Amino acid sequence: MHHMHRSEARIVFRGLAALFIVIVLGVNIAEMQLNRLTQKQSTVQAFNIQCQETGKYFLYFLGNQYSIQSVYPIAGISNSEKEIVLSIYHDRISLPTCVSMDATALFSGLNIIARQCTDEILQAKTACERYLAELRQKF
C-alpha cells in the first residue's frame, strides 16, 4: 500500500483549496450577472447567517438558503445593579456584581506584624554591628 508523503498531501490540499475558491468565485460571478439581469439585489453573498427571530436562524450558502429553528428554554438570565440572577427550572442562582469586604482587621494585623518584623530586623542589625565591632578590636 502506498503512503502519501507530506509534499503530496500539500499538493492535494492546495488543489482542493483552489477548486473551492474557483467554485465560490464562479457562484459569485453567476449571482452578480443574475442580479444585473433581474435588478433584484445589489450585493452578492456566498455565505451568510442571520437570526431574524429568537431561535430561528437562516443560513445562506452558495446560492441556497437553509433555515434552522429551535428554542429550548433551559434557563433565564436577569440582571440588576447588584446581582445577576440565573434561573434554571425552579432554582435560582444569584451572582453578586459588587462584592464588598471589610478588611480593616486584616490590615491592622498586617501592620502589627510588619512593625514587629522591623523591630526584630533593627535588633539584629544592632547585634551584627556590635559583633563586627568586637571582631575589629580583636584583629
Residue 4's Cα: distance from chain center in Å? Answer: 38
46, part of any domain: no
| pLDDT at residue 1 in the model | 46
Q: What is the count of structural domains for the chain?
A: 1
User: Has this prediction a pTM greater than 0.75?
Assistant: no
137, part of any domain: no
Query: φ and ψ at 12, to 5 degrees?
Result: -65, -45
127, part of any domain: no
Q: Tell me the pLDDT of the chain (139 aa) as tens digits.
A: 466 678 888 888 899 999 998 988 888 788 778 777 877 665 556 667 777 777 677 777 777 777 777 766 677 778 877 888 888 878 888 888 877 778 888 889 999 999 999 999 999 999 999 999 988 888 7
6, part of any domain: no
Annotate 86-126 with DSSP letters as a single string: EEETTEEEEEESS-----HHHHHHHHHHHHHHHHHHHHHHH
108, part of any domain: no
Cβ count near 86 (within 10 Å): 14
| pLDDT at residue 45 in the model | 64
Which domain does 96 fall in, by range? 73-100
- Cα of first residue to Cα of last residue in the chain, in angstroms, is 88
79, part of any domain: yes
128, part of any domain: no
64, part of any domain: no
| pLDDT at residue 44 in the model | 57
Pairwise CA distance, residues 68 & 55, whole Å: 8
